[in-house]
């Protein structure tokens, strides 16, 4: 299984089978809930795909508990203890992941629900880039060709 994560105060997740098919997805709110959720996963992932987070020096961070950084620490600890590699991805990969998945990001007004879809986009980006699955357009074109042959 591949596990894609969009870490933060609400962490989005998406699990994919070894063949690249989407198995499940959702969101976990809060650091403690996410830590418990991750530890209780029945199937340990073969690889974790995670959005990297870098502190922006142009934004004041005074007073922040840096929950995203803490979530990333939980992910790193889990991966190290379980011998799982982590593939870190820049947030700039999400637009391509969305396009390759054939889905659109939610509007900013629905940000609270968007983290699970961001995780899917990160997972799809990795799976397409590593030639595990085709893009949505490639699947559509293959389907059209197959229908013409029938």
- CATH number of the domain where residue 70 is located: 3.30.420.10
pLDDT at residue number 150: 56
pLDDT at residue number 56: 72
Total domains, the chain: 1
8 backbone φψ class: left, alpha, beta (φ>0; ψ -120 to 50): left
Reported confidence tier of residue 149, pLDDT bands at 50, 70, 90: low
Q: Are strands 85-89 and 2-6 parallel, antiparallel or unpaired?
A: unpaired
Q: Are strands 47-51 and 22-29 parallel, antiparallel or unpaired?
A: unpaired
Residues in the chain: 150
Give the domain range for residue 125.
2-149
Cα 7 to Cα 24, 133, 144, 147: the distances in Å are: 17, 24, 37, 41
pLDDT at residue number 144: 78
Q: Which of these, 95, 100, 88, lies nearest to 140 by C-alpha position?
A: 100
| pLDDT single digits (tens) 14-65 | 999 999 999 999 999 999 999 999 999 999 999 999 999 887 777 776 666 7
| Rounded percentage of the chain residues whose pLDDT exceeds 90 | 81
Average pLDDT over residues 68-97: 97
Residues 118, 6 contacting (CB under 8 angstroms):
yes
Average pLDDT over residues 76-81: 98
């Amino acid at each position: 299984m591949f596990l894609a994560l969009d870490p933060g105060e609400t962490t989005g997740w998406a699990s994919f089978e070894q063949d690249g098919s989407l198995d499940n997805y959702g969101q976990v709110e809060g650091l403690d809930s996410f830590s418990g959720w991750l530890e209780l996963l029945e199937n340990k992932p073969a690889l974790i795909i995670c959005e990297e987070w870098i502190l922006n020096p142009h934004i004041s961070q005074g007073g922040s508990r840096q929950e995203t950084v803490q979530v990333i620490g939980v992910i790193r600890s889990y991966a190290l203890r379980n011998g799982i590699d982590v593939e870190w991805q820049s947030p700039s990969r999400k637009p391509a992941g969305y396009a390759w998945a054939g889905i659109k990001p939610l509007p900013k007004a629905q940000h609270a629900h968007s983290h699970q879809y961001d995780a899917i986009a990160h997972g799809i980006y990795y799976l397409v880039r590593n030639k595990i699955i085709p893009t949505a357009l490639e699947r559509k074109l293959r389907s059209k060709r197959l229908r013409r042959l029938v």
